[in-house]
Structure 1
Amino acid sequence: MDLPRNEHIATVEGVDVDVRHWIGGERVASDRTFDDISPIDETVIARVHAAGADEVDRAVAAARAAFPTWAALGVAGRAAILRRVAEGIEARIEDLARVETRDNGSLIRSHRRGVMPRVAMNFRAFADFAEHKLSHPDMEVPGRGHRQRISYDPAGVVAIITPWNAPLMLATWRIGPALAAGNTVVVKPPEWAPLTASLLADIMHEAGVPDGVFNVVQGTGAEAGAPLTAHPGINRLAFTGSVPTAGVIAKAAAENIVPLSYELGGKSPLVVLEDADLDLAVEIAVEQFDNAGQVCLKAARMLVHSSLVEEFTARVVAGAEKLVQGDPREEGTDVSALISRRHFDQISGFVDRALADGATALLGGGPNEDLGGLYFRPTILVGAPEDAEIMTEEVFGPVVTIQSFETEEEAVAKANDTRFGLAATLVTGSKEAAERVSAQLDAGTVWVNCFFVRDLEAPFGGNGKSGIGREGGLWSFDFYTDIKNSVFSPGGWKE
């Protein structure tokens, strides 16, 4: 562990990170801390201040006090500040990339080239969208001769609880539209990867975000998350994480009738039809090991036409064998470690039980003994029974299964045989089949002959147990605002 410069600063990969909360425009200490352990080598890289109900109360109060002024600033005024936030992120991409790589074990090359630039884009794109769409409130609809003005008013204080697999990018995917809409925000970062949220607070302050508009409370779900989700002072609650945790949060939020936005788990299919471009299908399949498979929309169930399954399987195994597993701080690494010892044990348990249920591991199947620690080999399983746990439960790691099908109808039935519905991927050489099959797949997003293409103006979210609501474009503002209809009579005016 890098020695801290003082009790409030952790130096991570040469970057100083304040480990206190950010509340009302100032750093706030707690009398307790928790260890932040890097998955790369399981060392403690920071001791982060742990919030409880008192700090949460203080953060919500700061957000409520700041709300009227921030809302009154108007769309254009807020957008200008958020564009400065984007510029501040771009100026610190390397710092953010190095810290998040050390913190959650994801690839430095992905952060430098894609993730952190996308973080900046989240602010700039939602600022632009809000300015273009929300700054003209006279959106009119017919009303029996009456004029009806539809406006999007800020909702108030938004609580955002973020995941560890892409903590900064997924947080700003919600922070951006929430702030652009005129709300104030309290963020509870993941305790397994909390550090870049603190750096974001610094960037926000430097960009001129007013005190109290953006607040960060560090801590565990039980001690910081629970009082935040149950707080009567919040007006919206956005959560990304697991289905069981979402159920607990929903019960807490229900007491105060707080609207929820959930992005939860997935068990997404990759469907490869008989006429598919096999090169493309294999490329997409191997891509599923990105971020050590710790991706909610990963295509974990690969469904391949019987005429292609043998060649497809052999080529996917060969492609996955070439992936370099190791330290994510090295540009040449393709697959890193799992986030924590607990998570590692969960993934190992899933695979061990699958093998006991009759599955065969064509690749991997256990830890990478050469690396030790939290490195689990990319794993490809075949032959599991249809109702086996490995086929129905989300395995948030580098594990995929391959099945075959005979007909298009069978492929659709297998693809939809899940309580999740976050995403689906279809590979086909037929435009007609693309239209026909994609329409039948039960998922919030269907990619056809591509994967992981996400435009910030398009809706994103899941069906079934994969979530509630949609985010992106106007769908984000539908959630983060109170939509008001003002009806004007054509008469009654005094001249």
Structure 2
Amino acid sequence: MSTHLTTVAGVPVDTRHFIGGERVASTETFTDVSPIDGSVLAEISRGTAMEAAAAVAAAKAAFPAWAATPRAERARLLHAIADGVERRLEELALVETTDNGALLRSHRRGVMPRVAHNFRFFANWLLELGHEDFTTRGHTNHVTWDPAGPCVLITPWNAPLMLATWKVAPALAAGDTVVLKPAEWSPLTASLLADIAAEAGLPAGVLNVVQGYGSEVGDPLTAHPDVRRISFTGSVPTARHISASAAANLTPLSLELGGKSPLLVFADADLDLAAGLAVEQYDNAGQVCLAATRILVEAPVAEEFTRRFTEKAAALRQGDPREETTDIGPTIHPRQLEKIDGFVRRALEAGARAVIGGHRGEGQYYVPTLLTDVRQDSEIVQEEVFGPVLTLQTFEDEDEAVRLANDTRFGLAATVATGDAERAARVTARLVAGTVWVNCFFVRDLKAPFGGSRHSGVGREGGTWSFDFYCDVKNTVTAPKGFKDHG
């Protein structure tokens, strides 16, 4: 077996970059560790400015032919990639669970099927993409979506392959070429995606994968003058750094950043439903940007809501994510565990009370936590923890509920639980958020716009919004006369 192959959960994974259709090794490596038990999974090629430049050059060289490829052929190849994902779904699920600690049952039933759906959706949307011609004083306006060029896509560790393909699929459908830089804490399924794309017949250089640290390979990618689009999902501080890096070239950015989303529970809500929605926020060990981590409950029902919540939370099973009965797995990395614990310790020292949890579990696990007696201006209410930690506050009326919900620098999502349709309409109209769910959570359609307000992001992707970002949208205006008759 090649020294550049590692075996994870019985699946061989190449640890090298994928550039211009070939595997490329770096002289240095970084260690990839499983959050489940701390075992070393692989030594991964550690990219530098040299690999970044080579990947962008490969993407640039492949762009003219890929941009000129007819839409139907691009769509066919995206469907072929989806076929490959479905054939290897079990392998992808096993590798990703081992690499990032998320539930194997979720990967099998939801996440990996969604990866395939990402490719199929944007392949199909591409074939339907268009705008009716319209006239201006007899002149015809014709709108087109032209491929923009090489794209750099930087993806997070909490849902590695699903969020990578949420970007890769529309970029490829748009006729762009791609350099994908996965998170260094969960790089393995991106490498498998490169194999799947090559097996599907995607031309060399159209999809490149470069691994490594942001400071070493991410910076030269985002600052490269030949890059035409940058899409990033991650933290606000990193987004600021990327924005500054891209500014010199005026490279357009799409940024999906952190959240501190509220769950508003009104007294007229189905409290059992609301408590279930709140407990659902512990999904993926709370490592979900959309999670409604601030629970706001109307005062008269706060005690009953808390009782129902704690009963449901007590039924959750934390443990090995590979087991079917596990509900909550480990945190991704010791540094993330320490960050979560630091937030909670400081909150408790400041006077917060732990209704449940409030401490680490064994190994790399943090016990699901609900904190109350927290101030609106406190760190635990204002800053993203990105772990299984929720806060509970009460409100007296609609105005106070909205004020508390909107009183952070974020605006990614919000959830409202109410039995009054008119109240739902009033409240959702006043909430600052890119997505609002009413009496539900995490229902997402790829046709819908997705993104955040305020410090939660810049821009929207999904459906035509994705093509608006990954393309140069052009309007061609043609006069009603002036052409010569060649008949």
In structure 1, the residue matched to 2:397 is 407
Q: How many residues align?
A: 485
Distance 1:298 1:106 in 2: 15
TM-score (norm 2): 0.99
Write out per-residue CA displacement over residues 98-146 of structure 1, whole angstroms, 9 at most, x where no aligned residue: 0000000000000000000000000000000011114xxx631332221
- Is 2:72 aligned against 1:76? yes
In structure 2, the residue matched to 1:106 is 102
- Is 2:418 aligned against 1:418? no
Name the amino acid aligned to 2:325: G
Alignment of structure 1 residues 457-472 onto 2, 5 Å = 457-472=447-462
In structure 2, the residue matched to 1:298 is 291
Write out per-residue CA displacement over residues 428-482 of structure 1, whole angstroms, 9 at most, x where no aligned residue: 1111111111111110000011100110011000000000000100000000000
TM superposition shift of 1:42: 1.3
C-alpha contact (below 8 Å) 2:376/2:404 kept by paired residues: no
Q: Secondary structure at the match of 2:152?
A: strand
Write out per-residue CA displacement over residues 214-252 of structure 1, whole angstroms, 9 at most, x where no aligned residue: 000011111111111111110000000000000000000
Name the amino acid aligned to 2:25: A
Distance 2:372 2:307 in 1: 12
- Is 2:93 aligned against 1:97? yes
Task: Choose the corresponding residue for 1:308, options 301, 319, 322.
Answer: 301
Distance 1:440 1:74 in 2: 44
Write out per-residue CA displacement over residues 358-399 of structure 1, whole angstroms, 9 at most, x where no aligned residue: 10001110111xxx2110000000001121100100010000
Alignment of structure 1 residues 378-457 onto 2, 5 Å = 378-457=368-447
In structure 2, the residue matched to 1:331 is 324
TM superposition shift of 1:308: 1.1
TM superposition shift of 1:74: 1.7
C-alpha contact (below 8 Å) 1:74/1:182 kept by paired residues: no
Name the amino acid aligned to 1:78: R
In structure 2, the residue matched to 1:35 is 31
Identity across matched positions, percent: 61
Task: Choose the corresponding residue for 1:286, options 276, 279, 285.
Answer: 279
Distance 1:405 1:345 in 2: 32
Q: Secondary structure at the match of 1:420?
A: coil
- Is 2:484 aligned against 1:488? no
C-alpha contact (below 8 Å) 1:185/1:214 kept by paired residues: yes
- Is 2:265 aligned against 1:272? yes
Distance 1:183 1:363 in 2: 48
Name the amino acid aligned to 1:90: E
In structure 1, the residue matched to 2:162 is 169
Task: Choose the corresponding residue for 2:14, options 4, 11, 18.
Answer: 18
TM superposition shift of 1:493: 2.4
TM superposition shift of 1:63: 0.5
CA RMSD of aligned residues (A): 0.8
In structure 2, the residue matched to 1:475 is 465
Name the amino acid aligned to 2:212: G
C-alpha contact (below 8 Å) 1:36/1:192 kept by paired residues: yes
C-alpha contact (below 8 Å) 1:357/1:385 kept by paired residues: no
C-alpha contact (below 8 Å) 1:274/1:308 kept by paired residues: yes
C-alpha contact (below 8 Å) 1:327/1:336 kept by paired residues: yes
Distance 1:224 1:344 in 2: 25
Q: Secondary structure at the match of 2:366?
A: coil
Q: Secondary structure at the match of 1:16?
A: strand
Distance 2:293 2:206 in 1: 39
Write out per-residue CA displacement over residues 397-445 of structure 1, whole angstroms, 9 at most, x where no aligned residue: 0000011111011101110111100000001111111111111111000
- Is 2:207 aligned against 1:214? yes
- Is 2:234 aligned against 1:241? yes
Query: Structure 2 stretches of 5 or more lacking a match?
Result: none
Distance 1:366 1:143 in 2: 66
In structure 1, the residue matched to 2:185 is 192
TM superposition shift of 1:75: 1.1
- Is 2:107 aligned against 1:122? no
C-alpha contact (below 8 Å) 1:428/1:449 kept by paired residues: yes
Name the amino acid aligned to 1:97: A
Distance 2:252 2:37 in 1: 40
Name the amino acid aligned to 2:355: L
Task: Choose the corresponding residue for 1:322, options 294, 315, 318.
Answer: 315
TM superposition shift of 1:318: 1.7
Moved over 6 A (4+): none
Query: Structure 1 stretches of 5 or more lacking a match?
Result: none
Name the amino acid aligned to 1:25: G
TM-score (norm 1): 0.97
Distance 1:413 1:88 in 2: 48
Write out per-residue CA displacement over residues 257-304 of structure 1, whole angstroms, 9 at most, x where no aligned residue: 100000000000000112101111011011000000000010000001
Distance 2:49 2:437 in 1: 42
